[in-house]
Structure 1
Amino acid sequence: MNNKVTIYDIAEKLNITAATVSRALNGNPNISEKTRETVLAAAKEMNYKQNKLALALKSGKSNHIGVIVPRINTNFFGSVIRGIEEELNAKGYNIIICQSHNDEEMEAKNIETLIDSHVDAIFISSSSKSSASLQKVLDEKIPLIFFDRRKIMNNVSSVTIDDFAGGYMATKHLIDSGCRKIAHIISGPIELEIFKERHRGYQQALEDHNIDYRKDYVLRTNSSIEEGKRAVEILFSLNEKPDAIFSASDFVALGAIQELQKRGIKVPDEVSVIGFANEPFTDFLELSISTIDQFPLEMGRTVARVYLNQETGDEAGGNVQKKVVLQPKLIARKSTRN
């Protein structure tokens, strides 16, 4: 096995000092163009690889950005990541992606790993109820930016959609189509702001249209197709069954529709169903699913732009706080009545 080539090997070959080689490789202006070209040619010939971690430690900049998402196997988070990459790859940044799997301990491990990797910033859709691990990022003077799911913290920017407006417009769409017994599947931890706000929008729409809020019509589940099926089993065991379902997740909405169809209940004639996120499958099914579009690609691009603006701002250390709220859009399809 060959030993790795070092700057000392290059210096010995060229009969110059290791310091001169280092300066030439790093573009020091005090090194002549001729010397720089000679060193670069020798480095290429000898297959020299720079120690990126050492350079990051020395310069304080690694050009790596950590991105933490609950899971990557959804179009929403995949599109957010794509948007981030589109903006930052052109600026010379590389993206390190971590998944928390909606687990607080895993999220904390992701954060530790990214801190140890000397990333320049961390973008996160947080699944954590606590701010302890997130505070470590700030203690290390690493810029932290929330997207989609956020926590209220000083000196932390965020890019979200108006989840309250999304919950309101989904519920109002059902009401406008003639539904009055509207169930809501929260589809995630109510402690997280996005689910709390979508639920609040649902409540407000009912109140504004003089419809009673019923606790037995509100279920808390995880975001999966199976949970949607289970939710329908619970809702349709009630004496007074709902005539519409607003799910805070497209996957849960899909499961709900599958269970309704299995029971011979016609969608949307007997029960309307609307989801949230505008996952691609919602438009490709024979019974396409009404949903709320969150514009994930634009969210990713905006997160990256917020970071770049902070980097060029007057305040150091990422202490330029910016709160961006994107507006959601109703996508009405076949799963809800016209």
Structure 2
Amino acid sequence: MSKKATIYDIAKELKITAATVSRALNNNPKISEKTRNLVLETAEKLNYKQNRLAVALKSGKSNNVGVVVPFINKNFFASVIRGIEEELYPKGFHVIISQTHEENDREKKIIQNLINAQVDGILVSTSFTNENKNQLHQVLKKSSPFIFFDRVLKFDGISTVTIDDYQGGFDATEHLIDQGYRRIAHFNVNQNIELYSNRFKGYKDALIKHGITYNSDYIITIKNTMEAGKEAAKKLMELPVPPDAIFSSTDNGLLGAVKFLQSKSFRIPEDVGVVGFSNEPFTQFLEPSISSVDQSPVEMGKMAAKVFLEQIENKAATKTNTNVVLPARLIVRKSSSKVK
């Protein structure tokens, strides 16, 4: 392997100082156009590559932004990343995407590596919960902007972008009540993750508003998978008085429930109404099509990027919280449309 060219090689070739080469490569106004062009031509001839990390350390700007998500292959996160890139790429920023697989130690290492790489900011949908949030706190003591989106933790000086999960849970449950359902079950995922606890609170408050007794037998905590949804639906329908509707905090869990109900000849929505959360693409193509709360992932990504841009343009904003809450929108389809 041939030795990499350095600024000293360029300087030797042109019989100028390394400092002059460095200034020319970094567009220093003190360097003439003629010298700059000579340096650039020689750099290309020698196949010189600038050390981007060194440039970032010197200039304080890398034009790179880290995006950290639990899983890249989930439609929601892929759509958020699309929104982030659509907002940042035209501004000259490159996005570095990492996934944590819901592993806390992995997330800490990823964030630390991004900090070491001198990225200009990090946008995170965290795998940490309110139970272990302090483990992340030390890593987040920083100067570059951090923005949490979707799955957030509350820290002083760190901004968040979420949707109104509480209102989404409330609207989904009230819709089922308006359609005549009264025994409404709920699939929860993890009460220590704020977005799921807010959806659950919305569900409970809708029951209270309409004078419907809360029944803990109808609450099942599941993993965010189809198989978990199947098992939960089986458990619910074996109760002495089974529910006549299900509101799930996750479309994936609801998909499993729908498959189980259909396998046991329950009619949807006549026997059991169902509403999910996320508006995954498959919800509109199932038969019956599935009602779900839309999370506006592309808009969320764009907003997270805008908060980042605002913070790098206004250094004072980096130390203050910007908490953006986007509206949740219930998409009503056949699976919950009982009233004609």
TM-score, with structure 2 as normaliser:
0.96
Output the amino acid matched with 1:11. A
Q: 1:144 corresponds to which residue?
A: 146
SS of 1:174's equivalent in the other structure is: helix
Output the CA distance in 1 between the equivalents of 2:285 and 2:23.
Answer: 57
Q: How does 1:157-172 map to 2 (within 5 A)?
A: 157-172=159-174
Output the CA distance in 2 between the equivalents of 1:190 and 1:30.
Answer: 60
Whether the aligned pair in 2 keeps the contact of 1:276 and 1:293 (CA below 8 Å) is: yes
SS of 1:270's equivalent in the other structure is: coil
Q: 1:134 corresponds to which residue?
A: 136
Q: 2:12 corresponds to which residue?
A: 12
What's the CA shift string for 1:50-80, capped at 9, x where partnerless?
Answer: 1101111222222111111111111111110
Whether the aligned pair in 2 keeps the contact of 1:123 and 1:147 (CA below 8 Å) is: yes
What's the CA shift string for 1:120-157, capped at 9, x where partnerless?
Answer: 11111112122335323432322111101111110011
Q: 1:114 corresponds to which residue?
A: 114
**Distance change in 2, residues 1:133/1:123 (3 Å):** farther
Q: 1:184 corresponds to which residue?
A: 186
SS of 1:171's equivalent in the other structure is: helix
Whether the aligned pair in 2 keeps the contact of 1:313 and 1:320 (CA below 8 Å) is: no
Output the amino acid matched with 2:239. L
Q: 2:82 corresponds to which residue?
A: 82
Aligned pair 1:45/2:45, yes or no?
yes
Deviation, structure 1 residue 119: 1.6
Q: 1:64 corresponds to which residue?
A: 64
Q: 1:240 corresponds to which residue?
A: 241
**Distance change in 2, residues 1:55/1:136 (3 Å):** farther
Q: 2:282 corresponds to which residue?
A: 281
Deviation, structure 1 residue 312: 1.3
Deviation, structure 1 residue 106: 2.3
> Mind listing any 5+ residue stretches in structure 1 that lack a counterpart?
none
SS of 1:315's equivalent in the other structure is: helix
Q: 2:31 corresponds to which residue?
A: 31
Whether the aligned pair in 2 keeps the contact of 1:137 and 1:143 (CA below 8 Å) is: no
SS of 2:140's equivalent in the other structure is: helix
Deviation, structure 1 residue 182: 0.2
Output the CA distance in 2 between the equivalents of 1:320 and 1:168.
Answer: 30
SS of 1:122's equivalent in the other structure is: strand
Q: 2:123 corresponds to which residue?
A: 123
Q: 2:319 corresponds to which residue?
A: 319
Q: 1:206 corresponds to which residue?
A: 207
Output the amino acid matched with 1:85. E
Q: 2:102 corresponds to which residue?
A: 102
SS of 1:335's equivalent in the other structure is: helix
Q: 2:251 corresponds to which residue?
A: 250
What's the CA shift string for 1:151-185, capped at 9, x where partnerless?
Answer: 11100111101110000000011111110000000
Output the amino acid matched with 1:286. E
Output the amino acid matched with 1:290. S
TM-score, with structure 1 as normaliser:
0.96
Output the CA distance in 2 between the equivalents of 1:207 and 1:45.
Answer: 74
> Mind listing any 5+ residue stretches in structure 2 that lack a counterpart?
none
Output the CA distance in 1 between the equivalents of 2:133 and 2:5.
Answer: 44
Whether the aligned pair in 2 keeps the contact of 1:74 and 1:279 (CA below 8 Å) is: no
The size of the alignment, in residue pairs, is 336
Q: Which moves more between the two structures, 66-75 or 269-278? A: 66-75
Whether the aligned pair in 1 keeps the contact of 2:174 and 2:206 (CA below 8 Å) is: yes
SS of 1:138's equivalent in the other structure is: coil
Whether the aligned pair in 1 keeps the contact of 2:145 and 2:312 (CA below 8 Å) is: no
Q: What is the CA RMSD across the aligned residues, in angstroms?
A: 1.3
SS of 2:68's equivalent in the other structure is: strand
Query: 4+ runs of 1 displaced by more than 3 Å?
Result: none
SS of 2:28's equivalent in the other structure is: coil
Output the CA distance in 1 between the equivalents of 2:134 and 2:29.
Answer: 43
Q: 1:261 corresponds to which residue?
A: 262
SS of 2:72's equivalent in the other structure is: coil
Output the CA distance in 2 between the equivalents of 1:136 and 1:143.
Answer: 15
Q: 1:307 corresponds to which residue?
A: 308
Whether the aligned pair in 1 keeps the contact of 2:67 and 2:122 (CA below 8 Å) is: yes
Output the CA distance in 2 between the equivalents of 1:314 and 1:260.
Answer: 54
